[in-house]
Amino acid sequence: MKTVLEMKQVSKKFPGTYAVKTIDFDVFAGEVHALLGENGAGKSTLMKVIAGYFNDYTGEILVNGKTVQLHSPAMAKANGIQMIYQELSLAKPISIAENLLAGRLPTKGTWLLDRKTLIHESKKLLGRVGLGHIDPLVAVEEISQSEAELVEIAKALGNNPSILVMDEPTSALSKEEVDRLFGIINVLKKQGIGIVYISHHLPEISKIADRVTVMRDGEKVATKDITDVTTEALVEMMIGRAAGEMYRKRSSSIKEDVKLEVKKLSRRGFFHNIDFHVRRGEILGICGLSGAGRSELARSLVGIDPIDGGEIHLDGTEIQFRSMNRALAYGLAYLSESRKEQGLALRLSVGENILSASISRYSPKDGKEIVKKLIKDLQVNPAEDHRMIATLSGGNQQKVLLAKWMATEPKVLILDEPTRGVDIGSKMVIHQAVMEMANRGYSVILITSDLPELAGLSDRVIIMRNGHFIGEIDRVDCTEEELLLAANGKGEYVNAIRESR
Amino acid sequence: MQSANLDELKKDSRSLELNTLSLWISKLGIFIVVGIFLIVGPLVSAKFYTLANLTTILQTVAILGIVAVGVAFVTYSGHYADLSVPSVMAFAGIITVATLHYGIAISLLLGILAGLSIGIINGFVVGVYKANPIIWTLAVEYVLNGLMRWIWGANQIYPDLHGNNGRAASSFVNLARQYVGPIPLVFILLFCAVIIGQLILSKTRFGRRLKVVGSSAEVAKFSGINVPLTIGIAFLISAFAASIGGIFLTSLVKLGVYSNGTGYDFNAVTAVVVGGVSLAGGRGNIVGVLGGTLLLGILVNVLNLIGVSQLYQTIVEGVIFIIVVGVNQKSLRKLGRDDA
Ligand SMILES: Nc1ncnc2c1ncn2[C@@H]1O[C@H](COP(=O)(O)OP(=O)(O)OP(=O)(O)O)[C@@H](O)[C@H]1O
Ligand SMILES: [Mg+2]
């Protein structure tokens, strides 16, 4: 088999830490090589080395058997390496076409943009990722996150890569979208492209990968053929011990009193006539596909977006917030799905971020205490409160984000994709924390596209589809399969509620 | 669940020591440069370390320092700069002079209120309506300037030293020449401004909110921070400092005129940025701004002492600033704290 990429003894140091330490890593043509490891293991950093992100790595890198210097993204591209970043890199206000062909826009003569070729070329690229039906002239901000993800891949394909790196490409995708992505990956494999695939989702790995390399604390643990290892073995290699049972139904902590009740809540174009309630100590899941209006509902609940009709009752009194700070004063907190734009201030330290939503709550001294405690409870790694948040790995940033909202001691905590990009060990930690909050009498509203998580944590699940409330599933019946059916508007629970009323 | 395992924090063997030099440079970099100048100064001219000369240095930049402390809040909030500072200074000064017949205390109060009113407008328009701070404050600068010319007909107005309230007039003129013991009043005011500003920024809740807003207004909004109010207060502080500076300047030149604050906008921004406050917002401190201000003063002084002409002075200034900002940026990068 042809080796398209070979890394020998590659290391990369950051101020204050080694992120990657003497790694050997190779990729064959036409294979998917999965890269696994806990949050902060160094996966993204290793891939950034390949993508030419750093000019100060050490070690040797060979592409197609030739030693190369990958000291800039341009050099990496010139060597046929393309990377899909953990956070998308598309320019939102400009068109898909211009994003796709950025840096090599077709011209007529020397100066004029050749629109026809632009459209033609981008249509061709979009077709390769199954987006042939989309108009390449619409702006990226107008398409959904999952489509943007595919556009990002199309953009990479435009440069005819021989090596494609995908850093957690499925963390924001629903199951159908993941399947679609896998279809595309299989086609790319046949074309002889070597693919590096980073994910925390192990079932995915066994489905798509040919080989797998596990990293821990910046070092390589092992490289194996996927057929030679079990999922359990992989987990053990990642975290250095066997994992316990992932979800254990907790004994319910639901109290009688209704904490939050929503009646006929609407926001035109986003969600319509939504009814639900959540009790004290209850974890209420909201199930739905992306675009079902779940996040929009959450944003309206906490006053970030307006509502057009309906009522919100908190502890039995009607209430409406016009901004997040009012909502927060009443004990409503919202962990947003977009960590980088709305969740964490990347130029602040870990401690400052954790306290950023509870500045009036703590004295500086208490603040320090609570930061220390949350860092420890949620196992943020490295456990240093003065670290700049941008230097933490993606999964650890996510833990800090949860810590930030836990610090506000909310009465109702709305979690929107709380474990995006988090490794399995840390996921258990986060789940544990959420369940403990419910046990202490907090109400939790959980929005997640991770169905096992939804099934495992929720006491009750309501189903949304295209902005409408279409049904409710009880805890006993709440399984992954049911949820999947329900999200797609099928299954016996859908609409059953409506009829029984 | 594996509580036993999860409880012990994982030891990570990868940790390295941070570069301590960079750490110090990033904190107090500007004072290292000031220090260098204090060492080089006497080599350039024997007159450098005379008391008279040191006083001159402080005299030239004291008012600028007060104004810069205010502007720093706007920069820190992620809104680049308050360019309406010159006309706010002039406005506060003119109003004070024009109302001297009410007595010195009332006229000073009215002067400050006049300046603050501009700050409220700025804060409201930029905070609530999200106007571009540069364009808006520049527009205010022009409008207010024009307004003052229109109302006072481009005339200079003098504190009436011999009129019916000559006492108020002379105490106003003396303001900038006042000493507290051996120390000029304006120096004391400068240091008060720096200390209070630093305390506001680092110790108060407002300061911590401002830091989040400056780092990312979107995140601040989602964190339940009242972003418009926080920004508004930053502009208010800027206008307040500019009013104080403007009143002292008016007292110093003994006349109120629309052009009094000319040049203070860019000089203040220079002091702020050289002092290490990031134009991107959310980073820096007021003590650094004092450093930036002092550096400006010392630089002009040294160049004057060795007889460099005005023309070349600007070039030298420019080069020094590029170096200072560059060194600062580099040490931030070494710490992994740059914005790249
Ligand atoms: N710019 C930086 N400065 C300093 N340290 C950094 C920087 N970027 C990453 N690190 C550190 O390097 C280590 C590896 O980070 P990396 O992002 O590669 O982890 P990862 O394996 O991708 O984790 P995740 O699964 O959470 O995405 C972490 O300890 C992180 O804190
Ligand atoms: Mg990563």
pLDDT score of B340: 38
The whole-chain average pLDDT of chain A stands at 89
Question: Is the model more confident about A212 or about A394?
Answer: A212
Ligand nearest to the CA of A18: 1
* pLDDT at residue B96 is higher than 60: yes
Question: Which of B16, B219, B233 would best serve as a mutation to test chain A binding (most A beta carbons within 10 A)?
Answer: B219
Residue listed under structure tokens 């059953």: A496
Residue A491 has which token pair? Answer: 């299954």
Q: Are A496 and A485 in contact (CB under 8 A)?
A: no
* pLDDT at residue B309 is higher than 50: yes
- Exposed, middle or buried, A313 (CB in 10 Å: 0-12/13-18/19+)? middle
Measured in Å, residue A394 CA sits from the centre of ligand 2 at 5
pLDDT score of A113: 81
Q: Please state which of the ranges B150-154, B167-171, B246-250 shows the lowest mean pLDDT.
A: B150-154
Which domains, from first to last, does chain B contain? 36-335 (1.10.3470)
Distance from CA of A246 to the nearest CA of B (A): 8
pLDDT score of B42: 86
Domain A3-239: CATH superfamily, name plus number: P-loop containing nucleotide triphosphate hydrolases (3.40.50.300)
Identify the bridge partners of residue A8 per DSSP, sorted by sequence position. Answer: A60
pLDDT score of B10: 44
Using only C-alpha atoms, what is the Rg of chain B? Answer: 22
Q: Are A108 and A114 in contact (CB under 8 A)?
A: yes
Residue B238 has which token pair? Answer: 């800027």
pLDDT digits 0-9 by tens, B107-131: 999 999 999 999 999 999 999 999 9
| B28 pLDDT tier (thresholds 50, 70, 90) | low
* pLDDT at residue B339 is higher than 60: no
Q: Please state which of the ranges A196-205, A250-259, B156-165, B239-248 shows the lowest mean pLDDT.
A: B156-165
Q: Are A293 and A275 in contact (CB under 8 A)?
A: no
| B288 pLDDT tier (thresholds 50, 70, 90) | very high
| A496 pLDDT tier (thresholds 50, 70, 90) | low
3-class SS at A283?
Answer: strand
pLDDT score of A444: 96
Element (H, E) at A153: helix A145-157
Interchain pair A348, B336: CB under 8 A: no
The C-alpha angle with vertex A272 and arms to A269 and A277, in degrees rounded to 5, equals 140
Report DSSP letters for A348-371, one per residue.
Answer: SBHHHHHHTT-TTT--HHHHHHHH
Q: Half-sphere exposure of B132 toward its Cβ, with a 13 Å CA cutoff?
A: 4
State the alpha helices, DSSP H only, in A191-230: 202-208
Counting from 1 in the atom list of ligand 1, the atom nearest the Cα of A15 is 4
Which candidate from A19, A241, A324 shows the least CB-CB separation from B221? A324
* pLDDT at residue B171 is higher than 60: yes
Interchain pair B1, A341: CB under 8 A: no
| A357 pLDDT tier (thresholds 50, 70, 90) | very high
CA distances from A450 to A55, A148, A176, A417, A456 (A): 37, 20, 12, 8, 10
Report DSSP letters for A469-488, one per residue.
Answer: EEEEEEGGG--HHHHHHHHT
Task: Report the percent of chain A where pLDDT is more than 70.
Answer: 95
Q: What is the ipTM of this complex?
A: 0.84
Residue A253's closest CA among A479, A460, A459? A459
pLDDT score of B76: 96
Q: Are B271 and B296 in contact (CB under 8 A)?
A: yes
pLDDT digits 0-9 by tens, B250-284: 999 999 999 999 989 989 998 998 888 988 889 89
Distance from CA of B104 to the nearest CA of A (A): 39
Distance from CA of B23 to the nearest CA of A (A): 11
pLDDT score of B6: 37
Pocket test for ligand 1, best of A49, A239, A391 (most atoms within 8 A of CB): A391
Which candidate from B9, B219, B339 shows the least CB-CB separation from A345? B219
Residue type, B173: V
pLDDT score of B46: 85
Residue listed under structure tokens 């570069």: B19
The whole-angstrom separation of Cα B108 and Cα B104 is: 6
Long-range CB pairs of A433-440, under 8 A, 24+ apart, other chains included: A433/A377, A433/A378, A433/A402, A433/A406, A434/A283, A435/A250, A435/A283, A437/A406, A437/A413, A438/A250, A438/A253, A438/A281, A438/A282, A438/A283, A439/A250, A439/A253, A439/A281, A440/A281
pLDDT score of B9: 40
Q: Are B88 and B104 in contact (CB under 8 A)?
A: no
For the segment A349-356, the average pLDDT, to the nearest whole number, is 96
* Beta-carbon contacts of residue B181 (< 8 Å; ≥ 6 apart): none
Pocket of ligand 1 from Cβ distances under 6 Å: A 14-17, 19, 37, 39-45, 382, 391-396, 421, 423; B 336
A3-239 and A254-331+411-420+443-501, same CATH topology: yes
Q: Are A167 and A43 in contact (CB under 8 A)?
A: yes
pLDDT score of B25: 66
pLDDT score of B193: 97
* Ligand 1 atom 31: residue of nearest CA: A392
Interchain pair A343, B222: CB under 8 A: yes
Interchain pair B218, A344: CB under 8 A: no
Q: CB distance from B223 to chain A under 8 Å?
A: yes
For the segment B213-220, the average pLDDT, to the nearest whole number, is 94
Question: Is the model more confident about A346 or about B77?
Answer: B77
Sign of CA dihedral A344, A345, A347, A352: negative
Domain A254-331+411-420+443-501: CATH superfamily, name plus number: P-loop containing nucleotide triphosphate hydrolases (3.40.50.300)
Neighbours of B321 (CB within 10 A): 18
Measured in residues, chain B has a length of 340
Q: Are A301 and A310 in contact (CB under 8 A)?
A: no
Pocket test for ligand 1, best of A197, A380, A392, A393 (most atoms within 8 A of CB): A393
Interchain pair A21, B19: CB under 8 A: no
Please state whether beta strands A3-14 and A17-28 pair in parallel, antiparallel, or not at all (unpaired).
antiparallel
Ligand nearest to the CA of A20: 1
Cβ contacts of A383 on chain B, cutoff 8 Å: 9
pLDDT score of A450: 85
pLDDT digits 0-9 by tens, A79-103: 999 998 766 678 888 899 988 988 7
Each domain of chain A, given as residue ranges in start order, spans 3-239, 254-331+411-420+443-501, 339-409
pLDDT digits 0-9 by tens, A111-143: 788 888 889 999 999 998 888 898 999 998 888
Q: Please state which of the ranges A22-36, A224-238, A418-432, B21-35 shows the lowest mean pLDDT.
A: B21-35
Q: Are A309 and A266 in contact (CB under 8 A)?
A: yes
* pLDDT at residue A352 is higher than 50: yes
Q: Looking at the whole model, is its pTM more than 0.80? A: yes
pLDDT digits 0-9 by tens, B6-23: 334 444 555 555 666 666
CA distances from B15 to A39, A266, B12, B50, B76 (A): 16, 51, 7, 50, 31
Q: Which range, A370-384, B111-125, B249-263, B289-303, has the best average confidence (pLDDT)?
A: B111-125
* pLDDT at residue A425 is higher than 50: yes
pLDDT digits 0-9 by tens, A300-340: 999 999 999 999 999 999 998 988 999 999 999 999 988 88
3-class SS at A224?
Answer: strand
